Amino acid sequence: MTELAKPYLTGHFTPVADEITARELTVHGTLPPELNGRYFRNGHNPKPGITPSHWFRGEGMIHGVRLSDGRAEWYRNRWVRTPFLDGVPFTGTELEVSAAATNIVFHGGRYLALQEANLPWEVSAELDTIGPYDFGGKLTSAMTAHPKEDPVTGELHFFSYSPFPPYLTYHVAAPSGDIIRSEVVDGSGPSLMHDFAITDRHAVFLNSPVVFDHSEHSGIPYRWHDDVPFRIGVLPRTGPARVTWFEVEQGALLHVTNSYVDQQGRVVLEGPRYDRASWENSWKWWVGAPGYGTSPDAGSTFHRWILDPATGKATDEPLDGLATEFPSINDAHTGLANRYSYAIAFPGAGLSGYHTIKFDTATGRQQLLSHGEHRMPGEAVFVPALGGTAEDDGYLLTIVSDLKADASQLLVLDATNIENDPIATVELPRRVPAGIHGHWIEDPK
């Protein structure tokens, strides 16, 4: 019997087989003149003939679009040439053998391709691979794919996690890129910890019931265990480094939307929450197990937790019932109170097809942009407008994959009203596979 193709190698996720460069791309509409920089987006793209055992095990490929002075100067895509990539010689340590396929950030003058089980890999502004980066020898463990840059101090906060003690280590790098703080966080366990959060006063860690399990053979050795509680840890960023763990209703998060301290001194955390059923349905898609659904998200929904360090009490509430993932915000509000967030809304919960969604947590209202049949958007990246004063004064950048046309576009949306027609549409020279995370990296001023 012929084995079915893995879902993460088909449809919108079908890998591309080569690297190309195209210049002077066609633009419909008008690109805002302040968009001078690079939009980079990372994702898993196995080479032809390779079938990874899990979506997260595919080799990393970064797609980039350079915008300048109202022009789309170029598009290019490049594999990150780590020893994980077929045909690249193994010359380093196991910590360097990264797929480098989850995210790409810019800090301390370096572009870093990230995957959480390994060291970062540095690439150039044109996406050529430079090599592994260990912060001048100060990072001797893995680095999360979801570091947080404090918008006030410019510091980069990140962590390493492991299925073996020490389970969790917290790091802070100065704006220059030098690590200035590293410490083990007490009380953590062997949880799959993909993301975390910061407030202007805390680091916030997630210990979910998805924990290390050597009987899981997909290549990502973690499974949901009902006997492991969901705990959220709040660690002060200054002063005595004593973490407070809050046990909350059973659930899990892959991605955090944001966290902040409210007017009552409580820590508020928001993000798409999985229950056991939605997590296991999504896992089936990620590994291509029998019974998988039509998309990688099978029901995580927008949720809020309120943690009170003074009383040790935690409460939580649902914020929306749509199936959403890949949340984002205006990064100037990272760790600070925010009203708006953006995400991909997946088919289900009353929706057909893929949408980009904007949440207003002050009113509960939402805006939904349908991308139409056969089209799937990526994560929406916020870019502030020149002279903007409101939180949502800016643009959303997202790459949309169109299966029917076998093409992709970079959309520039009005973040104040995403239901409006795109401000600009950049025609890309190929269909870009649905990917994971990326960032807008502004040119130096």
pLDDT at res. 421: 96
Q: What letter would DSSP give residue 226?
A: T
Cα distance between the two ends of the chain: 59
CA neighbor of 276 nearest in space, from 210, 193, 189: 210
Q: How many CB atoms lie within 10 A of CB 318?
A: 10
The whole-angstrom separation of Cα 295 and Cα 434 is 11
Q: Are 407 and 425 in contact (CB under 8 A)?
A: no
Exposed e or buried b per residue across 366-397, where buried means at least 16 C-beta atoms within 10 angstroms of its C-beta: bbebebeeebbbbbbbbbbbeebeebbebbbb
The whole-angstrom separation of Cα 172 and Cα 242 is 16
CA neighbor of 65 nearest in space, from 431, 428, 436: 428
- Coil, strand or helix at 130: strand
pTM of the model: 0.97
Q: What letter would DSSP give residue 351?
A: B
**Residues in CB range of 314: below 8 A, 6 or more apart:** 232, 246, 247, 248, 305, 306, 307, 308
Q: How many CB atoms lie within 10 A of CB 351?
A: 16
Ordered per-residue pLDDT tens for the chain, 445 residues: 345 689 999 999 999 999 999 999 999 999 999 999 999 999 999 999 999 999 999 999 999 999 999 999 999 999 999 999 988 888 788 899 999 999 999 999 999 999 999 999 999 999 999 999 999 999 999 999 999 999 999 999 999 999 999 999 999 999 999 999 999 999 999 999 999 999 999 999 999 999 999 999 999 999 999 999 999 999 999 876 799 999 999 999 999 999 999 999 999 999 999 999 999 999 999 999 998 888 898 899 999 999 999 999 999 999 999 999 999 999 999 999 999 999 999 998 788 899 999 999 999 999 999 999 999 999 999 999 999 999 999 999 999 999 999 999 999 999 999 999 999 999 999 999 999 999 999 998 7
C-alpha angle 189-192-196 in degrees, rounded to nearest 5: 90
C-alpha angle 307-312-207 in degrees, rounded to nearest 5: 60
Q: How many CB atoms lie within 10 A of CB 144?
A: 23
pLDDT at res. 4: 66
Cα torsion angle, 217, 301, 345, 62, sign: negative
| Tokens 């053979």 belong to residue | 217
- Coil, strand or helix at 286: helix
The whole-angstrom separation of Cα 89 and Cα 175 is 33
CA neighbor of 77 nearest in space, from 93, 61, 90, 88: 61
**Residues in CB range of 143: below 8 A, 6 or more apart:** 114, 116, 118, 119, 120, 158, 159, 160, 171
- Coil, strand or helix at 89: coil
Beta-bridge mates of residue 66: 38, 74
Question: Does the N-terminal peptide bond of residue 209 adopt cis geometry, omega within 30 degrees of 0?
Answer: no
Cα torsion angle, 227, 308, 245, 195, sign: positive
CA neighbor of 358 nearest in space, from 350, 349, 368: 368
Lookup: tokens for 443: 């040119």
CA-based R_g, the chain, Å = 21
Q: How many CB atoms lie within 10 A of CB 246?
A: 22
- Residue 384 Ramachandran class (φ > 0 left, ψ -120 to 50 alpha, else beta): beta
